Chains A and B, each alone.
Chain A
Amino acid sequence: METALDTFEKFDPQHLPEFEPLAPGHRACQGCGEVLALRLAAKALGREMIVVSATGCMEIISSAYPQTAWRVPWLHVAFENAAAVASGVEAALRIMKGKGKITRDDIPILAVAGDGGTADIGLQALSGAWERGHNFIYLCLDNEAYMNTGIQRSSLTPYGAATTTSPPGKLSIGEGHFKKDLPAIAVAHKIPYVATVNPAYYLDLMNKVKKAALIQGPAYLHAFSPCPTGWRHEGRYAVKIARLAVQTRVFPLYEVINGKYFLNRKVTKPKPVREYLKLQRRFAHLTEEDIEIIQENVNNEYDRLLRLSEEVDLETKLTTSFQQYLDQLKQQMDEAYKKLREEFQHT
């Protein structure tokens, strides 16, 4: 696995692939973060791949018969089973290759679902697929609500957000729970690759998708996906909000490779969370105290992540210095041998 990542060639911003597996002309809302993340992920994989989609916004907007926005093989079955369907596709390709019925090498499979289809109703199928170790990329497009059925809360809806099923009221501040930590659940399955992505950081996103395709076994990508319709922000702010999510540490970008955390973008001078919240009407009802609670949670989560990734840093430092020591030792010994050999030749 490490070897595949060693030879990993990053996307060059000047020469991005031209082929768009997800064609323009789909029916997503203006400024949709999901479709942006999906398009970039698809672009990173290219022409030779198979997409399996859960029911949700991205399925509805891309496949209304007799039209399709997909230029690659695409399959939709139901809401909660994208991971199980993708397992079946992968199992089929593997055995058919073994039997010589097909000749193509590892065709990347991209399974796509929203936060509801991933963290709620689809979690069992996803856990099963991870545990069985199927080789496909699972992309969760997290718009923090069930958008296809009209802005209901999911277990990934953030604390304080107003949705139609978590409305703020006399007795409620809106959603009353913090987000379920899905990447951590993925990591707990000991799958080789877990990463968070964000369409505002498009090269990072595409490179992570590419890495995920290189790695044998399950890969999980959690994509921050602004949704103007559900978050009540102007379409033109989607990328700005996505970037603010990273700059405020609300949505840190990190990778977990074989259980090791790597914080890809350390945010040393974070902007206050308020700046992120204020652009979205779903948070408009929050008081200063509510925002304080959210800020505190963001700080804690970021610190936790930092600690996790610093452990890795420390370990790498240790291994690097040990390696340097070994290298020095080897050099000294080589020189000593050389000397000895020369002396031996003289005698």
Chain B
Amino acid sequence: MRIVCPFCGERELGEFTYLGDAKPQRPAADAGEDAVYDYVYLRDNIAGVMSEHWYHGGGCRAWLKVTRNTLTHEITAVEPAAGAGAAKVGA
């Protein structure tokens, strides 16, 4: 598996660290126990196309959002993840 970092180009997998499913959103502070349990512990664990967070620690150190098929390992899109680093790119 190789990931095409939008900042660094195509790099081997060893340069990246995986965080997991990009879908869970941190609930509001007063959202209640169910929402927090859901966010921290429960996962769709998709067999197929999934959007996930990877960190390019061996390169530009940006967080990336990668669209990948968990059945085939095929990657169809890589974009900067929302956040400080990505905001600068857009500017």
Do A and B actually bind? Answer: no
Binding site for A on B (CB under 8 A): none
Binding site for B on A (CB under 8 A): none
